[in-house]
Amino acid sequence: MQKETMSLNSKDLIALEDKYGAHNYHPLPVVLAKGEGVYVWDAEGKKYFDFLSAYSAINQGHCHPRIVQTMKDQAETLCLTSRAFYNDKLGVYEQYITEYFGFDKVLPMNSGAEGVETAIKICRKWGYEKKGIPLNEAIIVVCGQNFHGRTVSIISFSSDPDAKGKFGPYTPGFESIPYNDIDSLKAIIDEKADKIAGFMVEPIQGEAGVFVPDSNFIKESAALCNANNILFIADEIQTGIARTGSLLAICGDCTCQGHCEQQESYTRPDILILGKALSGGAYPVSAVLANDAIMEVIQPGQHGSTYGGNPIACAVAITALDVVKDEHLAQNARKLGNQFRAEMQKLVDKFDILNLVRGKGLLNAVVINDSPDSSTAWDICVRLADNGLLAKPTHGNIIRFAPPLVMTEEQLMDCVAIIEKTIAEHISA
């Protein structure tokens, strides 16, 4: 069976997914078979730069040798105990991650959506037990164009008709304000502060097309929450772990490497949600961090997951976070990000088909000058793949560019050349 699979070409493999898999994704027609650092190879051995990084899960690069070694070692020793018993990795990991990000406690889960669900549950329970909101009346404020995952409760407050349509009835208790609109947040707090338990926000909206809010939006919303006894919840599943040029996007311009020496210089959320790059792409690991006064509302039997906090996840996450620090990935993302946007700005100036470039660190997007319904961004991505660079359109006519953070300056310039060549080809086609 294994031999037979290995002899299948990309066309066969796409046909298999098409026939036997649910059609819940629309991938570019590229079948990947191997990865190393910033590179991936398809089933025919063609090499590509990865400019998506599995939606920022691969910040540390594909198959990072230290992460892979940790995973192998732990897999040979102990994989899963469930939380019916203690295991010898969980406590060590909990101490490590809470010190790394500066919180009292962590609640370990697997997928990002589970992390968000966990934060919602903690926030609601805190609202009833600590804030005194009447039972079942807690409100969590969210932002338009958000992306927090795919569960029924999470899509209940999505503004994307594909994500939400025909999946009702929806979970109540969420109210949406426009992103980056501090006045709307003020207005809803003025009206309903007593019932608002939390405000959940992405410090930069990734899926929506890499929207970077005004520099004071996050700080001011956190301050408003703080003044009104509302939990400020940061979903850093995509933006966190060095992606945007600092350990967390909420760190702003703080350049610390994990052990934040300037805690007061950044907006500390009451609840921080991490996922994706927490394992460097090796394993599904998510985490919800909060201080004792918040986390203590969760007691035995009230939340959990069979795999959450398993020994492989714990060991892998420690190494993945070590790599971020040891290899100075935040600094590299910051430096290369500035360079990348400067290079893309030259292309925006040169080619009418490119409207603008925006982003922070190595989470960037180029907006295509065409209707959101046109296939221009898709066509360019197909052509980029032909030229050896993998990127994916996101909402409308936007191409997200988010390579692994282990990229070198020289590799980045090679990628810029591929992008320039591709745009020129697209225009003359």
**Distance of closest approach, residue 414 Cβ to ligand PLP, in angstroms:** 27
Interface pick for ligand PLP out of 202, 270, 327, 343 (rule CB under 6 A): 202
Comparing CB distances to ligand PLP, the nearer of 131 and 275 is 275
Comparing CB distances to ligand PLP, the nearer of 3 and 23 is 23
End-to-end CA gap in the chain: 43
Catalytic: 12? no
The size of the interface with ligand PLP (CB under 6 A), counted in residues, is 15
Long-range contacts, stretch 98-102, CB < 8 angstroms, 24+ apart: 98/289, 99/259, 100/258, 100/259, 100/321, 101/247, 101/248, 101/258, 101/260, 101/272, 101/274, 101/289, 102/260, 102/263, 102/268
Residue 310, judged by CB atoms within 10 A of its CB (0-12, 13-18, 19+), counts as buried
Under the binding rule (CB under 6 A), the answer on residue 234 touching ligand PLP is no
Catalytic: 147? yes
Interface pick for ligand PLP out of 203, 206, 269, 359 (rule CB under 6 A): 206
Per CB under 6 A, which of residues 20..79 are in contact with ligand PLP? 55
**Distance of closest approach, residue 284 Cβ to ligand PLP, in angstroms:** 7
**Distance of closest approach, residue 202 Cβ to ligand PLP, in angstroms:** 5
Interface pick for ligand PLP out of 116, 177, 224, 250 (rule CB under 6 A): 116
Q: Which of 276, 340, 392, 401 is catalytic?
A: 276
Per CB under 6 A, which of residues 96..115 are in contact with ligand PLP? 111-113
Under the binding rule (CB under 6 A), the answer on residue 281 touching ligand PLP is no
Interface pick for ligand PLP out of 40, 200, 222, 237 (rule CB under 6 A): 237
Comparing CB distances to ligand PLP, the nearer of 127 and 284 is 284
Comparing CB distances to ligand PLP, the nearer of 55 and 401 is 55
Q: Which of 235, 270, 360, 392 is catalytic?
A: 235
Comparing CB distances to ligand PLP, the nearer of 151 and 345 is 151
**Distance of closest approach, residue 133 Cβ to ligand PLP, in angstroms:** 25
Per CB under 6 A, which of residues 129..188 are in contact with ligand PLP? 147-149
Comparing CB distances to ligand PLP, the nearer of 61 and 206 is 206
Catalytic: 401? no
- Cα separation, 238 vs 207, in Å, equals 9
Comparing CB distances to ligand PLP, the nearer of 57 and 133 is 57
Under the binding rule (CB under 6 A), the answer on residue 238 touching ligand PLP is yes
CA distances to 88, 188, 234, 262, 369 from 148, in Å: 32, 21, 11, 28, 28
Under the binding rule (CB under 6 A), the answer on residue 235 touching ligand PLP is yes
Comparing CB distances to ligand PLP, the nearer of 126 and 147 is 147
**Distance of closest approach, residue 181 Cβ to ligand PLP, in angstroms:** 19
Under the binding rule (CB under 6 A), the answer on residue 204 touching ligand PLP is no
Q: Which of 49, 101, 147, 340 is catalytic?
A: 147
Residues contributing to the site for ligand PLP (CB under 6 A) = 55, 111-113, 116, 147-149, 202, 206-207, 235, 237-238, 275
The residues that are catalytic are 147, 235, 276
